[in-house]
Amino acid sequence: MTSPRPDLAELELQELEAALDARGVERFHARQLYRWIYRRGVTDFDRMTDLSRDLRARLQTEFDVSTPRIVSDERSIDGTRKFVLELSDARRIESVFIPDTPSMTFCISTQVGCAMACGFCLTGKMGLVRNLTAGEIAGQVRVLASATGLLDFPFNIVLMGMGEPLHNYDPTMKALRMLHSEYGLAMSPRRITLSTVGIVPGLERLAREPLMPNLAVSLHATTDEQRTALVPPNRKYPLADILEACRRFPLKKRSRITFEYVMLDEVNDTPEDARRLVRLLSGIKAKVNLIPLNPAPGIPYGRPSDARVDRFAQILADRYITVSVRKSRGQDIRAACGQLIVEGGTKKSAAQQMALLLR
């Protein structure tokens, strides 16, 4: 049996140079390939017109460039677009384009499903199906940038789709390096935000990364008892440990850690919760992003009234904590936070689809 052809979509620039070198092809072609694949969105070697015919023919026989395939592209009335993407093993993930927030943002997945099992999140109900590869993570950005016509424009990335990025650490960081390459999309890490439930060893590794994205921590509760009930990994990594890792986290000038807080009606949205949150965050350069729950069938919580959200936000603001309330985008197409789950055709329910995925 012949071994599979190397997949250029999985290679960092230096790895691509080495792969070409090993085949007697000049290394500088790696930069040209990166430009075609990332900056121009072209993966068909035949269309790479600054490469010689001979080289194109060789690349064609010796390499692959796999790219997630768009299965559906739904538009919300607010302009949000939800893409269902199919991977080479036919697994599916979702990625979301959110226009104007304040700039263009792609919300990218890092796993098929998620092992964290947060009590209010639909993706958590799927369980973990598998990790995404670096090429699949970066590939979502290539696909969305092409599909939205944004290859030549600035955009932001949030790792807030399906999955827990620090539970798939190496591929996630490798994908960020691929997107950062100056011959590709040249993305600044300031335009990338990694959101995590707070896996402490992962936070400690992240603190030492040369290429450091902005950090968002999904907090959601102010006591260990309540947080463990809502975010099960809290049993292993309790609040004090997460906040200690945040205190030690190196921040660039003017930057802050974002704490996300999903608001569940009459569960974690009381004035006492808000006051406890203020105390927990003392000594941390923090801002708080309140996310009123996006309700969904099978999720046993409700969305608080605007008045409850405002009262909570006011308590934080009165203690000089920067606070914002996340607008829910794309709810009509189930593209909002916590609503990403791969659903089949309209006849299959989410639960049926989950059962299929988990077989």
Site string for ligand SAH, 298-337 (x = CB under 6 A): -x-------------------------------------x
- Within 13 Å and on the Cβ side, how many CA atoms surround 48? 27
121 binds ligand SAH per the rule CB under 6 A: yes
Catalytic residue among 17, 94, 164, 260: 94
Report which of 193, 16, 167 is spatially closest to residue 103, judged by C-alpha positions. Answer: 193
Site string for ligand SAH, 141-180 (x = CB under 6 A): -------------------x---x----------------
**121 included as an active-site residue:** no
Q: By CB under 6 A, name the one of 30, 126, 141, 293 that touches ligand SAH.
A: 293
Number of Cβ atoms within 10 Å of the Cβ of 173: 22
Distance in Å, CB of 197 to ligand SAH, minimum: 5
Residue with tokens 């590709």: 184
Which region among 21-29, 113-121, 132-140, 248-256 touches ligand SAH (by CB under 6 A)? 113-121
Quick check: 168 and 111 in contact, CB under 8 A? yes
Helices (H), the chain: 13-22, 29-34, 53-62, 122-126, 134-147, 169-180, 200-206, 224-230, 239-248, 271-280, 306-318, 350-358
Number of Cβ atoms within 10 Å of the Cβ of 56: 15
Number of Cβ atoms within 10 Å of the Cβ of 213: 24
Q: Determine the size of the site formed for ligand SAH (CB under 6 A).
A: 18
Distance in Å, CB of 305 to ligand SAH, minimum: 16
Q: Could you give the angle at which helices 306-318 and 271-280 cross, rounded to 10 degrees? A: 30
196 binds ligand SAH per the rule CB under 6 A: yes
Catalytic positions are: 94, 337
Contacts with ligand SAH, residue ranges (CB under 6 A)? 116, 118, 120-121, 160, 164, 195-197, 218, 260, 262, 291, 293-294, 299, 337-338
